[in-house]
Structure formats: C-alpha cells, structure tokens
Amino acid sequence: MPERKPKKSDTQDFVSEYIIPDNTRNFDRIWILLKEEYPDVRPFLNYSNPLEMLIATVLSAQSTDIQINRVTEKLFKKYRTVEDYASADLRELENDLYSSGFYKIKARNIKAAAQMIVEKYNGEVPKTMEELISLPGVGRKTANIVLARAFGVVEGVAVDTHVKRVSRRLGFTKNSDPDKIEQDLISLARREDLDSISMTLIYHGRKVCQARRPKCKICIVKDLCPSSIIFIGSN
C-alpha cells in the first residue's frame, strides 16, 4: 500500500498526501488497456491551419477547450492571417480575448509572437521545437501540440494538468515539473505513441481520473494503479 507522507500537502489533490510507489513496470499493460478504452482520441480545440492551432493552444492555458472554441469561432473570422494579429490594436485584441481568461497576457503574447513570425519566419508558423519555443507565450507543451497537430511532427509529450495528474497517480513519474514528466513518459513509451499518450491521458483524466473525485471503481486500469486503493479506501 502507498506510504503516507509525514506532513499533509497543501495541494487539493488528495493523493498527493501519499508517496506513490514506482509503477513503471506496468506501463505497457496500462497503455494497452487505455488505448482500447479510448481508441479514437481527437483534439478538442477547433482549428483549420497551423496559425489557428497555435493561437487556440496559446489561448487554452488556464481555460477550457469548450470556452476557447467559443472564443475562436469569432476570432478566426476576424483575424485570418498572422499579419492581422501582428498589426492588431492591443486593446481591441484584449477585448476579443476577454472571455478566455488572462486575456491581457495572452493578447500581448499573441501579438508579439505574430510579429516575430512575420519578421523572423516569413509569416509562416515555425516547424521545429527550437523555433516554436522562441515565440512569446509558447512552451514545450504548446510546441508539442502544434508540431503534432499542425505538422505531423512528434517531438515529445504535451503535458497539461490532466497528463501530470494521471501519470503521477499511475506511478509513471514522481516529478511535478512538466518538462521532467515529459522526459519520464518519453523513456517509457514507443516514439510512435508519444502524441496519442498525451491525448489518451487527457481523455482519461477528464472522464475518469478527475482531480477531486476520481471514478476509481469504474476505471479500466484500477487493478494496476497504485493510487486506486487510496481513493477507493477513502470513500
């Protein structure tokens, strides 16, 4: 049974009070079950080209995909090219992004990123990790998503809050830093599975392994998950 930590964590995630044992030996078995459970994972964000994918992903930080799809439904009709974002009035762009949350920071980053794309990359969204993460507001998570979805290039694993939570609960990593979690997952998975791992863990995190009340009793991998005994026992 997982060992309880000496001091209670301040996090809202109940399982963080425990030291979850290493469970990497069961990665392949768990991955097979999850792939069978979610055979047709697809992106949640709406987009039709690399620029829209980049903008939508930047906006999705600290928001829901449903809300961002509402925002971009109007946004993508108004701003059709990277030059439109680069030359946009910042206050007006802030108003257009208002309901996405943290709209001032997002507007500033999007405008600055668009200007860099115009000036440095000839108006084309970059196609490499190094170039993408040089853009304002773009980290490895966003870059991984853009590369995989827009260009079919798999560099690594996009680690969001769901991927972080599920991979820690499953005992695939003890890290809390997204970049380190990404490297842990890369070391476990086959390269061709890297992109689908992110989407699959997101699906599982949203549908079953939820933050506050995970549905362990109906979880397809509960018998292989070191955290299930904690949650089931706490109910």
Q: Where are the domains of the chain?
A: 3-37+157-234, 50-151
Residue of 106, 111, 141, 164 marked active site: 141
Q: Is 141 a catalytic residue?
A: yes
Of 201, 150, 151, nearest to 173 by C-alpha is 201
Contacts 24+ apart (CB under 8 A), 121-126: 123/81, 123/82, 123/83, 124/50, 125/50, 125/51, 125/53, 125/54, 125/82, 125/150
- Alpha-carbon distance of 155 to 54, in angstroms, equals 16
Specify the fold of 50-151.
Answer: Endonuclease III; domain 1 (1.10.340)
Query: In this structure, are residues 124 and 132 in contact, taking their beta carbons and an 8 Å threshold?
Result: no
Q: What is the pLDDT along the chain (235 residues), one digit of tens a residue?
A: 565 554 444 334 555 556 899 999 999 999 999 999 999 888 899 999 999 999 999 999 989 999 999 999 999 999 999 999 999 999 999 999 999 999 999 999 999 999 999 999 999 999 999 999 999 999 999 999 999 999 999 999 999 999 999 999 999 999 999 999 999 999 999 999 998 999 999 999 999 999 999 999 999 999 999 999 888 866 5
Q: Which of 13, 65, 127, 160 is catalytic?
A: 160
SS3 category, 3:
strand
For 67-82, how does the pLDDT look when each residue is reduced to its tens digit (9 = 90+)?
Answer: 999 999 999 999 999 9
Q: How far apart are CA 201 and CA 195, in angstroms?
A: 10
- pLDDT per position as a tens digit, 90-129: 999 999 999 999 999 999 999 999 999 999 999 999 999 9
Contact predicate 186/224, CB 8 Å: no
Q: From the CB of residue 66, how many other CB atoms can be counted at a distance below 10 Å?
A: 9
Is there a catalytic annotation at residue 89? no
Which CATH fold topology does 3-37+157-234 show?
Endonuclease Iii, domain 2 (1.10.1670)
DSSP letter string over 20-51?
PPP-GGGHHHHHHHHHHHSTT---SS--SSHH
